[in-house]
Structure formats: C-alpha cells, structure tokens
Amino acid sequence: MRSWNNSVHFYQRRGVKCGRRHQRVTRLDLPALKLMGPISPYIGNLSFLRVLSLQNNSFIQELPQEIGRLHRLEELTLDRNFIVGEIPSSISGCSKLKHFYIGHKLLVGEIHAALSHLSNLKELGLSNSTLRGSIPPFLGNLSSLEIIFLPLNRLSGVIPETLGQLKNLITFGVAMNKMSGIVPSSLFNLSNIRKLDIGENNFHSSLPSQLGVNMPYLELFYVSQNQLSGPFTLSISNASNLIALRVDGNKFSGKISSSRKLEKLRRLNIGENLLGSQGANDLNFLCSLTSATSLEIVVINDNSFGGILPECISNLSTAMTFLYMEGNNIVGRIPAGFGNLINLEGLAVGENQLSGSIPSVIGRLQKLKYFAVNINSISGSIPTSLGKFKDVDQVASK
C-alpha cells in the first residue's frame, strides 16, 4: 500500500480505478493484501463504485449499512474475511448487484429478505458461516441467478420447489448443512446445470431415471452422505461432460450400467451403498471406464459387488491414483493387471473373498503408499518385489 500517499493522486493508487469522465472511483480491487480493521461507513460515499473486491483479508465487525447507498454497485466480494453479524438490510439498495460473495464463519442470521430486491443478481455465495433458517423461496424469482453457493452453514428445511424456475442456473451448492426432505424433481430438470452439490445433508428421495438426459452439461454431481435410495439411475451415463461423481454414503441399490460415454470422468465414488447383487457380472461396468483416459479415483467400497475382478482393469487409465474396493463379495484372484496402473498411491481390496497369491507385479507400483488385502483368503508368500516400495505408509495383509 505504499502507493497510497499524498504525493500520488488517488486514481493512480494500487487497486483503485476511476472513470474517465468524472475521475470518480469505480473499482476497488484489494484482495489478499493483509488489510484489517472495520470497513469504514464512508464507503457509502463512493457513489460511482461498481466493484468492491476485498476478499482474503482480515476485515472485522459488521458490514456497514451505508453499503446500501452504492446504487451502481455490481460486484461485492468479501469472502474469507472476519466480518460478523447479519447481512445488512440496506443491501436492497444495491439494485444493480450481480455478484455477491460474503462468508467465513462469522456471518449469522438468515438469508435476508432484502436480497429479494436484487433482480439482477447472477452469483450468490454465502459459504462457510453460521447462517440458519431455510433457503427462501424468493430466490426462485431472481431469474438471472446462475450460481447459488451456500455450503458449510447451518441451513435447515427443504430445497424450495421455486428454484426449478431458474433456467440460467449453472451451479447449485448446499453441501454440509442440516437440510432434509425430498429433493424437488424440478431441480433435476434444469438443463444448464454444470455443478450440483447437495452432499452431507439429510435428503431422502430417489434420483430421476432421466437425470443424465435432462442435465446434459453436468460436470460435477455430489449427493454423498444423505439418505437417498432406489436404483442408481442408468441415464447418468448420458452426461458425457461429467468429471466428478460422488453418491457414496446413501442407500442406492441395483447394478451399475455401462459408463462408456463418460470419457471425461476423473473421480468416481459410489462407496457405502447397497449396490451390486453378489453376482458374477457385477463388476463388468469397470470395463466401460477404460474409455475415461483421465480417470484418477475409483471408490466402490462397502457394497454388495460380487464376481471376479475383470482383466480389463489393466486397461484403466494410468493416471489412476486411488482404487478402493474393500468390503464387497469379490472372489477369484488379484489380477496381475494392477501392475499396469503405475501411478497408484492407494490400492485396497481387503474384506472380500479373494484367494490365490499376491502377484509380484504389484512391486511395479513405486508410488504406492497404502496397500490392503486383509480379511481375504490370500495364500503364499509375500512377493519380494514389495520390498522395493519407498514411500508405503501401510500394508494390510492379515
């Protein structure tokens, strides 16, 4: 902040931008500068201000009510500070606001009704705080909304049906709250959604059979650690842009269909469900994952998958870092094809019904840090190749 002195005109100071005609301040971009103290109420005098970006500093106390005098304000970014109190009611005066981000543990109260006046709002981020109450239905009337990001709060109640009206919505995140009820089907019909994260709540319902068809641009889909049940939707494979899929910690059942269209998939976690039938062909879906050339993580632990580990595992992406399959009913031998997954850091096939010996090619996995084959019927000697591991933290083979 050395440029902020009387020898330099304010429109030449770092982080300050002014309009050409009136030389009035239009932008304050001051992120991550270790600034501290309260935000001055005199901020309300910057009547030409369009952007106020103060994230990742150490500002304290409440956001001044004078913020509502900034009638031209379009972007207000205050997250990762230590601002306390409620969202000021005067925020309704910022009628041109498009981007509003505030949070970081100390924000309290409910999502203020004053936000209902922000008809131009595109992005709403109120994360990592102690907001309580429910998501207000009026958000569904803010037709310009593209992002609703409310994770890590204490929100309760249901997801309002009115959110299904937000045809421009791209991101919806309410993970790690205390919400419950049935996820409205209208939310799964929003065709522009890219990221949907409702994990770690208490939602209970099933997924619509046409999920992947209705949400063709889906990139991230997280519904983990809820009470969702029913068959795992077959149409998810139609979401060909999917990069990350997490449905772990629910009560989904049935078989997993082919995922050959998911060529962009990097992370798959379907663990801790009721999937599989203990049948011979339960794991055939793994062969369809060979088309995902950037696949890094596969987690299918604690289900009811039966059958043998298919040889196609050797054709999975060499980018694989974690492969967790423990707690199923998998039989047969450990395939030598695991040795082709040269970037594996974690390999867990414990608590199954595997037999035979540990293939010596496992020793090729020089990045392996965790290897579990415990609680099986493995026999024979431990291959000497395992002694070549340099960074292994744990081997479970009891």
pLDDT tens figures, 134-152: 999 999 999 999 999 999 9
- The closest of 308, 317, 289, 288 to 349, measured between CA atoms, is 308
Would 303 be classed as within a structural domain? no
**Which residues constitute the domain of residue 327?**
308-398
pLDDT at 199: 98
Would 80 be classed as within a structural domain? no
Specify the number of domains making up the chain. 1
Would 250 be classed as within a structural domain? no
Name which of 193-202, 229-238, 259-268 the model is least confident about: 229-238
Would 323 be classed as within a structural domain? yes
Would 157 be classed as within a structural domain? no
CATH number, domain of 396, equals: 3.80.10.10
Q: Does 62 have pLDDT greater than 80?
A: yes
Q: How crowded is residue 20: how many other Cβ atoms within 10 Å of its Cβ?
A: 6
Q: Does 103 have pLDDT greater than 90?
A: no
Q: How confident is the model at residue 394 (pLDDT cuts 50, 70, 90)?
A: low
User: Residue 314 carries which side chain, given as an amino acid letter?
Assistant: S
Would 104 be classed as within a structural domain? no
Would 92 be classed as within a structural domain? no
Would 25 be classed as within a structural domain? no
